[in-house]
Amino acid sequence: MRILYFANFREKMGLSEEIIILPSNVSNVRLLVEWLSARNELSSTLFTDHELIRVAVNQEIVEFDTEINSDDEVAFFPPMTGG
């Protein structure tokens, strides 16, 4: 699965995208966030406060209960501030 990071996520992760092998039990966004959060201390900080996380699946903003599969493009970023 392709994961993109923007703004503080990109900055803190030190990367703008990565390809992960999605464990078969990670079937929705919430489980992916928990899985990412458990990877290491840095990830834990970034992915713990769900209020500060926005997620897009295939370039559409989605809720945490949205199902995902390995073909999806998933992006993490903070609340948007356009305009």
| Nearer to other proteins (CB atom), residue 25 or residue 82 | 82
CA atoms of 20 and 6, how far apart (whole Å): 17
Least CB distance to other proteins at residue 33 (A) = 18
| Nearer to other proteins (CB atom), residue 16 or residue 70 | 16
- Distance (Å) of CA 68 to CA 10, 15, 54: 21, 22, 15
| Distance between first and last Cα of the chain | 31
Least CB distance to other proteins at residue 37 (A) = 20
Binding site for other proteins (CB under 8 A): 4, 6-8, 10, 56, 59-61, 75, 77-83
| Nearer to other proteins (CB atom), residue 44 or residue 58 | 58
